[in-house]
C-alpha cells in the first residue's frame, strides 16, 4: 500500500534505517510541528471551560547505565481525549521550566489548566492568567507558608456541609468526593503574588473498599469561583494518567522501548502521541457498526486499508 503513494525505488526502508532517521531529526523541531498541528486542528473543537491537564512522565526504557530516561511534560485535552503536545526535559525536576515553555505554545484562552504540585508556581499562574485561561493548581507542603494559611481555613473535622458532592462506584470501590471553595481571601498575605487567584479549594475523598474506608484531603489554589466546575476540573486531571500515560505504557508499551540513541526516544514518543490522536479521531462504527477499543483499532487498521487510509488522512 505504501508504494501507491511514495516513490520507493530501493524498496521500503528497514526498521533500522527508520530508527537512524528518527535519531537524527531534531526533536525540538518535531515537537514544534506536533504542537502546530494540534493547535491548528483541535483548538476550534475545544469548548469554553474545557480542561487541559499538564503532567510529566519518564520514558523508563530510554535510560542507560549512566543517563536517566527522558522526561516529557505533556498537555492533555480531557474532553477531546487527545494530546495537545509535549516538551522534553532533562529530568523531572525541570518540569518547573518546561511547563511555561509548553504553556507558551498552547492557546489556553477559555480553558481550565490543571497541574500537580510540581507546577504550583507563581510564574505559571501568571502565564495561564495572561493567556486568558483559568487554573487549578495542587498545593502541598512544598510551599509551607501558603499551605499553612490555606489549610487553616479548612478545619478537617468542621467543614460543614459540602458545596458539591459526587459519589462513584467502580470495581467494588465506592468513592465519595466533597468539594469546598473558600473565596473570601482578601486577607491572604500572598494574594498579590498569585495572578488571577480567586479562591482556595479543598477536596475530601472518602474511599471505601469492602469494609475499609480511607479519607484524604487535598488543597488547591484556583482562579475558579464555581465549586462544581472546580470539582470537575480536579477529577478531570486524572485523565492524563488514566487515558494517556497508562495507554502509552500498556497499549504502546512505551516503557519497554529501548531506543536511546540521539533523538530517537523523544521522536518516537511524538510519533506514539500522533498515532494515539489519529486512532482516537477515527470511529469504527461506520465500518463495523460497533465501537472498538484502542488495541482493536490498531489491529483493525493493520488489515483494513480503507480504515488505515482514513486515519492517515486526518493528518
What pLDDT score does 90 carry? Answer: 65
313 pLDDT higher than 60: yes
**What does the pLDDT read at residue 89?**
82
Mean pLDDT, range 3-7, rounded to an integer: 75
Q: Grid coordinates standing for 201? A: 479549594
Helices 294-303 and 264-281 meet at what angle, rounded to 10? Answer: 90
All three cell numbers of 125: 499562574
- 102 close to 186: Cβ distance less than 8 angstroms: no
Higher pLDDT pick, 112 / 290: 112
Listed in sequence order, the DSSP H helices in the chain are 15-24, 27-42, 95-105, 122-130, 144-152, 227-236, 239, 246-250, 264-281, 285-288, 294-303, 305-313
Residue with the larger pLDDT of the pair 152 and 12: 152
Give the range with max mean pLDDT: 13-27, 226-240, 270-284: 226-240
Domain spans in the chain, listed from the N-terminal domain onward: 141-228
* Distance separating alpha carbons of residues 180 and 202, to the nearest angstrom: 5
Q: What is the mean pLDDT of the chain?
A: 88
Percent of the chain predicted with pLDDT > 90: 48
- What pLDDT is recorded for position 92? 56
Global model pTM greater than 0.85: yes
Compute CA 171 distance to the chain's CA centroid, rounded to the nearest angstrom. Answer: 24
**Tens digits of residue pLDDT in 57-69:** 888 777 766 667 7
**Distance, CA of 70 to chain centre:** 17
Amino acid at each position: 500500500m505504501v508504494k501507491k503513494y511514495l516513490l520507493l525505488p530501493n524498496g521500503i526502508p528497514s526498521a533500522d534505517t527508520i530508527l537512524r532517521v528518527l535519531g537524527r531529526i531534531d526533536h525540538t523541531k518535531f515537537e514544534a510541528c506536533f504542537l502546530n498541528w494540534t493547535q491548528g486542528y483541535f483548538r476550534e473543537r475545544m469548548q469554553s471551560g474545557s480542561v487541559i491537564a499538564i503532567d510529566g512522565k519518564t520514558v523508563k526504557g530510554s535510560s542507560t547505565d549512566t543517563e536517566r530516561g527522558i522526561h516529557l511534560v505533556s498537555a492533555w485535552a480531557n474532553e477531546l481525549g487527545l494530546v495537545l503536545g509535549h516538551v522534553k526535559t532533562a529530568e523531572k525536576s525541570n518540569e518547573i521550566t518546561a511547563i511555561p515553555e509548553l504553556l507558551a505554545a498552547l492557546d489556553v484562552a477559555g480553558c481550565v489548566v490543571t497541574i500537580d504540585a510540581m507546577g504550583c508556581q507563581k510564574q505559571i499562574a501568571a502565564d495561564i492568567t495572561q493567556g486568558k485561561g483559568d487554573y487549578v493548581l495542587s498545593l502541598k507542603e512544598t510551599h509551607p507558608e501558603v499551605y499553612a494559611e490555606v489549610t487553616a481555613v479548612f478545619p478537617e473535622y468542621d467543614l460543614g456541609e459540602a458545596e458539591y458532592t459526587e459519589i462513584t462506584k467502580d470495581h467494588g470501590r465506592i468513592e465519595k468526593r466533597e468539594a469546598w471553595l473558600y473565596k473570601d481571601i482578601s486577607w491572604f498575605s500572598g494574594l498579590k503574588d498569585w495572578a488571577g487567584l480567586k479562591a482556595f479549594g479543598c477536596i475530601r475523598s472518602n474511599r471505601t473498599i469492602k469494609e475499609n474506608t480511607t479519607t484524604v484531603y487535598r488543597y488547591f489554589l484556583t482562579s475558579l469561583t464555581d465549586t462544581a466546575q472546580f470539582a470537575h476540573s480536579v477529577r478531570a486531571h486524572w485523565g492524563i494518567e488514566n487515558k494517556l500515560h497508562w495507554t502509552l505504557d500498556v497499549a504502546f508499551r512505551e516503557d519497554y522501548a529501548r531506543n536511546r540513541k540521539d533523538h530517537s526516544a523523544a521522536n518516537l514518543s511524538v510519533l506514539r502521541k500522533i498515532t494515539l490522536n489519529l486512532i482516537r479521531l477515527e470511529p469504527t462504527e461506520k465500518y463495523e457498526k460497533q465501537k472498538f477499543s484502542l488495541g482493536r483499532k490498531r489491529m483493525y487498521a493493520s488489515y483494513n486499508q480503507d480504515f488505515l487510509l482514513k486515519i492517515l488522512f486526518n493528518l
